[in-house]
Structure 1
Amino acid sequence: MTLTGADVVEVDPLEPPLMAPLSRKLGWAEVQRMSQSATHRDDPVLRRIRATAAVKRGTRMVKILSAAQTAGHLGGWMPYGFCYRACDINHLRHPDELALLRTDGAAQAQVAYALRWRAVDPADYEVPDVRTQPGLAGIPAHARIGAMVLGTGFIPSTDDLVPEYITAGFADLPLPANAQLIAYTGSEEVVLYTYQPEQHGWLRLSGPRWRHLLEYLPGISPDREYLPCTDSGSARLVGRINQHEYDAVADPPEEFRVRALTRAARYPVTTLSRRAEQALWRGVGCWVLQRDDRWARLRVVRPDGDAVGITGARAYERGVYEAWAPVAELVDHHLWDVPYEL
């Protein structure tokens, strides 16, 4: 039986539904109770149910945003942290319903925003359970932002059974082509902007009717039809043609090409990988998000109470812990490549 918020007529192979072996002994109420219980984090039945919510190449992913986060993505932020498969939250449309999925602890607003994109590869996503992020659920309440992390792989909720994901190790993911920034008004879903990777900017799609939705975004002019990103990001896609390496663009599920302004130069690449910087600081694995000759901004890969205490990292979003460190103190500073199978 599928556990979704709406009837499924056709199953999209890129978005397999969450499935559970319901029976007289295992009903909906029992599955819901198990998903909310720390004692069932290692339950093999719950793990089998959670494993059916797979991310494929091309699966639509969604991160629910506040107005401030939306403005940040218009400036060049990449997808990172907690996110969801679009098919698992299709039944949630009202800002009040989506409030629990927000990650920055901002006050509830009259409109909810979201970033929606297609997954480039399943390797970019992890289930935030006790196997992949064993210390996340144990971080004390005073050091958290947003809803608590149960460690079962599901959101904390008394009504919904929604599987949650994080970007692998809380890494930044390069935005694929045609990613969207959208708004939920309660009655409608409005596509506000779409991402143009070659120009590294956002094209406005919403018309005058939806101008008021843009006025909530700090520092964003509703009149501008195109917004170039000012943040270059901490990760990029690289691909090869023969022995030559190029910056690459992903348009999943099938198109992976050289990043070029002219269409004639957008050749398909034969290999593809995600590249970012990693380092150890005080023995804690971190992503290097920014750096100059003296200082580096770091994000903890596997946050737990010890890592947060050792680094003094601060919670910027749910599960996302960052700190500044002297570059001279970084150990094993290197480029990290995640290869994809094309």
Structure 2
Amino acid sequence: MTVTGEDSQLGADPLEPPLMAPLRRGLTWQAVQSMSQSAVHRDDPILRAIRETAAVRRGTRMTKLLSPAQVAGHLAGWLPYGFCYRSCDIAHLSEPEQLALLRTDGGVDGRVAFALRWRAIDPADYELPAGPAQPGLGALPAHSRIGAMVLGTGFTPSTDDLVPEYVTAGFADLPMPANAQLVAHVPGGEEVVLYTYQPEQHGWLRLAGPRWRGLLGELPGVSPDREYVPCTAAGTAKLIGQIDGKEYEAVADPPGEFRVRALTRAARYPVRTLSRRAEQALWRGVPCWVLQRDETWARLRLLRPEAEALHATGARCYERGVYEAWAPADELADHHIAEIAYQL
């Protein structure tokens, strides 16, 4: 049989199409879940077809589970990057100990699970942590990784659940959309929205009331009493839009609003084109994002982590799938601004 929107409320939102499987007597849910956990089935056409039903569309809600230190990083200006999930695929996981298993830093401790939630600007920003986009992830040795191993089937390691996983395309930083949220999941299944992102001010507005000040106190370097937290770090990726041939920094509020970034509401005109820009370069033949640089050194992140790239660059794993290195700036080749155009 096939699970459809008529059988479940999961199919009610067209922006979040449900994961669907052609279940039958010879292909039970338990069999599909078992296939998703075995590297032997990476190229199984049935498993691939099931995985492809979990589509990301413009406006799909995405979630990345965070440690307290990562929450503080996003409050300072970090952008979405790395491993993430469609929010609808993990909606049944509400207790902190369940969600903590999806953290990218390898930690599972804590009575609270923190997360960043945002809406996808474009499906092109996401790919499977498997071949052909990321063929080397599943072959990386245990001593060079943090967090759960990458199975290469497109599903996260789990003994009970069938959860599709994604990475940002090439492990890129993605511009933070308007109204992104930093949330906490507390024992009992309650979700608390702590902050919401205000793109024009490039900062976070606190929404959590006095009852939840204790949660905010767990975040390193964050004052629980501060109502507005401006980002101190400049984003490594920017949205650029055009109006009548002129370029402007843009703001995305998916699924339907893409506008000029402006402090006054009257100046927030809708843009006619939209693209994402970020720095790229080659170092020792390995393609990398340039996250930070000065005249001497550059901080790089590998687009496609694999054993040969790690050996060539000496890149370290900072969280699941994310490998970065420092390189002499004068050794970079093909240093350029990459532009990823979106279809509006």
1:2 Cα deviation after fit: 3.3
1:40 Cα deviation after fit: 0.5
Aligned match of 2:187:
186
Report the AA paired with residue 306 of structure 1: E
Question: In the alignment, is the contact (CA less than 8 A) between 2:10 and 2:17 conserved in 1?
Answer: no
Query: Per-residue displacement from partner, 1:73-94 (whole Å, max 9, x unpaired)?
Result: 0000000000000000000111
Q: Which moved more, 1:228-237 or 1:102-111?
A: 102-111
- Choose which of 267, 270, 283 in structure 2 pairs with 1:268: 270
- Choose which of 254, 276, 288 in structure 1 pairs with 2:256: 254
Cα separation, 2, equivalents of 1:176 and 1:9: 24
Which 4+ stretches in 1 moved above 4 angstroms? none
1:72 Cα deviation after fit: 0.3
Cα separation, 1, equivalents of 2:337 and 2:74: 24
- Choose which of 319, 326, 344 in structure 2 pairs with 1:324: 326
1:18 Cα deviation after fit: 0.1
RMSD: 1.3
Report the AA paired with residue 309 of structure 2: A
SS at match of 1:68: helix
Cα separation, 1, equivalents of 2:4 and 2:73: 34
1:132 Cα deviation after fit: 1.1
Cα separation, 2, equivalents of 1:9 and 1:324: 44
SS at match of 1:103: coil
**What is the 5 A alignment of 1:1-342?**
1-2=2-3, 7-8=8-9, 10-187=11-188, 188-342=190-344
1:243 Cα deviation after fit: 1.0
Cα separation, 1, equivalents of 2:100 and 2:216: 19
Report the AA paired with residue 74 of structure 2: H
Report the AA paired with residue 85 of structure 2: Y
Cα separation, 2, equivalents of 1:324 and 1:10: 45
Identify if the C-alpha distance between structure 1 residues 272 and 17 changes in structure 2 by more than 3 Å, giving closer, same or farther.
Answer: same
Question: In the alignment, is the contact (CA less than 8 A) between 2:97 and 2:108 conserved in 1?
Answer: no
Cα separation, 2, equivalents of 1:323 and 1:158: 34
Question: In the alignment, is the contact (CA less than 8 A) between 1:3 and 1:161 conserved in 2?
Answer: no
SS at match of 1:325: strand
Query: Per-residue displacement from partner, 1:263-314 (whole Å, max 9, x unpaired)?
Result: 1110000000000000000000000000111110000000011111110100
Cα separation, 2, equivalents of 1:172 and 1:3: 34
1:99 Cα deviation after fit: 1.8
Cα separation, 2, equivalents of 1:18 and 1:100: 21
Q: Which moved more, 1:7-16 or 1:178-187?
A: 7-16
Cα separation, 1, equivalents of 2:152 and 2:4: 20
1:247 Cα deviation after fit: 0.3
1:100 Cα deviation after fit: 1.6
SS at match of 1:322: strand
Cα separation, 2, equivalents of 1:310 and 1:3: 47
Query: Per-residue displacement from partner, 1:217-245 (whole Å, max 9, x unpaired)?
Result: 00000000000000111100000001100
Report the AA paired with residue 124 of structure 2: A
Cα separation, 1, equivalents of 2:24 and 2:106: 38
Cα separation, 1, equivalents of 2:95 and 2:25: 33
Report the AA paired with residue 293 of structure 1: E
Report the AA paired with residue 312 of structure 1: G
Query: Per-residue displacement from partner, 1:107-161 (whole Å, max 9, x unpaired)?
Result: 5111000000000000000011122111101111010000000000000011000
Query: Per-residue displacement from partner, 1:243-273 (whole Å, max 9, x unpaired)?
Result: 1000000000000000000011100000000
Report the AA paired with residue 49 of structure 1: I
1:10 Cα deviation after fit: 5.0
- Alignment: residue pair count: 341
1:63 Cα deviation after fit: 0.2
Unaligned runs of 5+ in 1: none
TM-score normalised by the chain length of structure 1: 0.98
Cα separation, 2, equivalents of 1:311 and 1:176: 32
Question: In the alignment, is the contact (CA less than 8 A) between 1:3 and 1:20 conserved in 2?
Answer: no
Identify if the C-alpha distance between structure 1 residues 274 and 53 changes in structure 2 by more than 3 Å, giving closer, same or farther.
Answer: same
Report the AA paired with residue 46 of structure 2: V
